[in-house]
Chains A and B, each alone.
Chain A
Amino acid sequence: MSTFWRVVWIVARKDIAIEARSRELINTTVFFALSCVVVFSVSFVGEGGDGKALGDAAAGILWIAIAFSGTLALGRTFERERYGDTLRALLLAPGSRAAVYVGKLVGIVSLLIATEIVVVPLVALLFQAKLFDHFLLMAALLVLGTVGFASVGTLFAAMLARARSRDVLLPILLYPVTIPVMIAGVRGTSALLALEPQLDMARLWVTLLLAFDVVFVTLSLWTFEALMTE
C-alpha cells in the first residue's frame, strides 16, 4: 500500500511541479473560467435590476464555468504528456496503473480547486451571491463535485490521449456521464443561495455527490488498467 501512495505522490508532485514552473494551465484555466462567467452573465442577469442573477443562475454559472474550464484543463494536461511522449513512460514506470491514475487525478483536482479559489469569490462578488454563509457545506459541494467530475474526466482524457479527434470527443463523452454531478452541484449550491437556505436539501445533495464519487472513482480505477494497455 505504501508503494501505491508513493507512486501517487510522485506522479501528482511531477504535475504540480511542472505547473508551478510554467503556470500555463492555471493561467489559461482561470481566465477561461472568468470568460465563461462573463459570457453567461450576459444572458442571466436581469437588465436594470440590482445586478443579481435570475433565479438559480448564479449557481448554474459557477458550475458551468468549472465544468468548461475543467474540460479544457483535462485536455491540456494530457496533450502535454502526449507532446513530450511521456504518457508511455508514465505507463511503463514501475508501480500500478491505478496509482498513476490517482496521481493524475490528484494533480487535476488540485488545479481545479486552485481555479475555484479564484472563481468562487468572483461569482459571489459579481452576482451578490452568498456563497460563504455556509462555508463548510459549500466547500463540501465544490470538492466532491470536482472529484466526481475530474475522476471521470481523468480517465476519459487519458484514454482519448491517443484517439483521433480527441478534442471534440472529450466533452462529448464527458458531459453526458458527468451531468448528474453537475445537477447535484447546482441544486446543492442553489439550495444554499436561496433566500432561506435549505441546509437539509444541501446535505442531501452532498450525500448524493459522495455516492457519485464512490461509483465513478471505483469504476475508473477498475477500467483504467484495461483501457490504457497498448
Chain B
Amino acid sequence: MRKAAFPLLAIAGVLFMTAPLVIARARYESTMGLVQKIFYFHMPPAMLMLLSAIFCGIVSAMFLVKKRPALDWMAYAAAELTVLYGAMAMVTGPLWARKAWGVWWVWDARLTMSLLMWMVFVSYLLLRRYGGAGSEILAAGLALFGMATAPFVYLSVNIWRTIHPLTSVVPTLPVDFALALWYSFAGFLLMYIALMMLRMSVEQQRAMLDRLYLESDE
C-alpha cells in the first residue's frame, strides 16, 4: 500500500507544478480579475473536505458494524484529511474573500456550516488522541454526526441567502475555467488518495508494533 502511494504523489506533484500554466491560460473573470484565480485552489480542497467527511462517515458506519481494524484506519485517515483539506479551504477562502468582499470572514451560512463541520472533525482527532482506550468506537459515532452536517454545508448556499457563490456555478463554468478547475482538482484528489494510503500504512504498522510489543511482554 505504501509503495503504491509514491507514484501517485509524483503524478500529483507534476500536476501541481504544471497547474499554474493551465490556470494562467484560463481567461480573467470579468468582475474579479486576477483574484478569482484563487478559486482553482479553493474549490477543490473544499469539495474534497466535504467528500472526505462523507467518506469518513460511511467507513465509520461500516467499522461499527464489521469491527475490522482496516476500516478504522481508513476512517482515521479520512478524518485527518478532512481537517487538512478544510484548513486549505479556510486559508484560501479568506484570502479570496478579503479581495472580493473586503473582509476576511463573514458569518454567513456556508462559512459557518463549513467551520462547524471542520470543528466536528477536529474534535474527532482530539477524541482519538485523548479519549484513551476504546475511543476509536466513540470516534466512529462522532464521524456519523460529522457526515450528517455535510448535506447542510453543501446546500446552505442554496437555502439561505449568502454572499458565497452558489453550487450551480460549477456546472456552468466556461470551458477554459472548467479545465483549470478540474486539472487542479485531479492534483488534490491524487494527493488525497496518496496521503490516505500512507496514513493507513502508518496505522497498520503502529498496530503491528503494538502486537509485537504485547507478544514480547508475555
Other than the given A164-B131, A172-B126, A229-B137, 9 more pairs (CB < 8 A) read A156-B142, A173-B142, A177-B146, A180-B116, A219-B144, A219-B145, A223-B141, A226-B65, A227-B64
B residues sitting closer than 8 Å to A (CB atoms) are 64-65, 112-113, 116-117, 119-120, 122-123, 126-127, 130-135, 137-138, 140-142, 144-146, 148-149, 152
Partner of B144, one of A164, A183, A223, A229: A223
Closest chain A residue, CB of each to CB of B118: A176
Contact B127–A173 (Cβ < 8 Å): yes
Closest chain B residue, CB of each to CB of A227: B141
Contact B141–A226 (Cβ < 8 Å): yes
A residues sitting closer than 8 Å to B (CB atoms) are 152, 155-156, 159-160, 162-165, 168-169, 172-173, 175-177, 179-180, 183, 215-216, 219, 223, 226-227, 229
- Cα distance, A168 to B129, chains bound together (Å): 13
Contact A176–B123 (Cβ < 8 Å): yes
Contact A163–B132 (Cβ < 8 Å): yes
Contact A227–B123 (Cβ < 8 Å): no
Partner of A180, one of B134, B140, B141, B149: B149
- Cα distance, A10 to B80, chains bound together (Å): 42
- Cα distance, A227 to B116, chains bound together (Å): 23
Classify the interface of chain A: helix, strand, loop or mixed.
helix
Contact A152–B132 (Cβ < 8 Å): no
Contact A227–B130 (Cβ < 8 Å): no
Contact status of A223 and B123, CB under 8 A, knowing A163-B132, A163-B134, A169-B130:
no
Contact status of A164 and B142, CB under 8 A, knowing A215-B148, A226-B64, A227-B137:
no
- Cα distance, A104 to B64, chains bound together (Å): 22
4 pairs of A and B residues whose beta carbons are closest in the complex: A164-B132, A176-B119, A226-B64, A176-B120
Closest chain B residue, CB of each to CB of A165: B130
- Cα distance, A164 to B128, chains bound together (Å): 10
- Closest chain-A Cβ to B125's Cβ sits at a distance in Å of 10
Contact status of A176 and B131, CB under 8 A, knowing A160-B138, A227-B138:
no
Contact B141–A164 (Cβ < 8 Å): no
Contact A219–B123 (Cβ < 8 Å): no
Q: Which residues of A contact B123 (CB under 8 A)?
A: 169, 172-173, 176
29 contacts between A and B (CB under 8 A): A152-B145, A156-B142, A160-B138, A164-B130, A164-B135, A165-B130, A165-B132, A173-B142, A176-B117, A176-B122, A176-B123, A177-B145, A177-B146, A177-B149, A180-B116, A180-B149, A180-B152, A183-B112, A215-B148, A216-B148, A223-B64, A223-B141, A223-B144, A226-B140, A226-B141, A227-B64, A227-B137, A227-B140, A227-B141
- Cα distance, A173 to B120, chains bound together (Å): 7
Q: Which residues of A contact B144 (CB under 8 A)?
A: 219, 223
Contact status of A177 and B131, CB under 8 A, knowing A159-B138, A219-B144, A223-B141:
no
Q: Which residues of A contact B141 (CB under 8 A)?
A: 155, 159, 223, 226-227
